[in-house]
Amino acid sequence: MADQFTNVISGLSADQYWQTLAESGWVAEIPEQQRAQLEADVRAAFARDPRYAWTALAVVEIDSESLYDIGTDELSYQAHLATLAESSDGLFHPVNIREQLLGDDVQISFEHDGRSYSFQTTFVEDTFDEGLLAVINRALADSGTAKRVLLLPAIDQILRFVFVSEPTFQRAVALHVLPPPRYALEQKLESGSVFD
């Protein structure tokens, strides 16, 4: 799959890449006032390396090894949850966000549109548990929005998040404007470096 993605991307111009991204439905899901900046960012990333133009689609980037505290510190689940909310264009608006240690576990809870949500995982300092996304997406689904917070393929330890519908995300993968989920890992295994 990685080779197919790379072959398709290497045959596209920046204009063709942007047009194909639009055909996937991605651009239509971005607020109109943000589209010009997104296009500029995508074109700049494409000019640097077409294989990684998709990294410009991220609305949030989090270091997956950035959990060292509980609570309001910027290196906590609570802070990451707030960052995702700030970047969701108002779709995800949790209130009463709480984070507490329960023995070796950490519990993150919040309210969204009058409903309570909770996520509990073993607190491993320095490791973001992606299971929190399922809880966020349940809150988004319960609120009636089609968009979800989805992960782009990871490069090194950086997690890149987008807010689009799952069908649009899958169309972007099928049209080869997004790589397959394990693309970055496959690239690293083949070359020894993601950015060869």
- Could you read off the pLDDT of 156-170 as tens digits, one per residue? 778 899 999 999 999
Percent of the chain with pLDDT over 90: 60
Report the interhelical angle of 14-23 vs 35-48 (nearest 10°): 130
Q: What is the mean pLDDT of residues 98-118?
A: 92
More confident residue, 64 or 184: 64
- Work out the pLDDT band at 31, boundaries 50, 70, 90: very high
- Work out the pLDDT band at 73, boundaries 50, 70, 90: low
Q: What is the DSSP string of 150-194?
A: EEPPPBTTEEEEEEEEHHHHHHHHHTTSS--TTHHHHHHHHHSSS
Q: What is the mean pLDDT of residues 107-123?
A: 93
The mean of the pLDDT values for the chain is 86
Tokens 């090894």: give the residue: 65
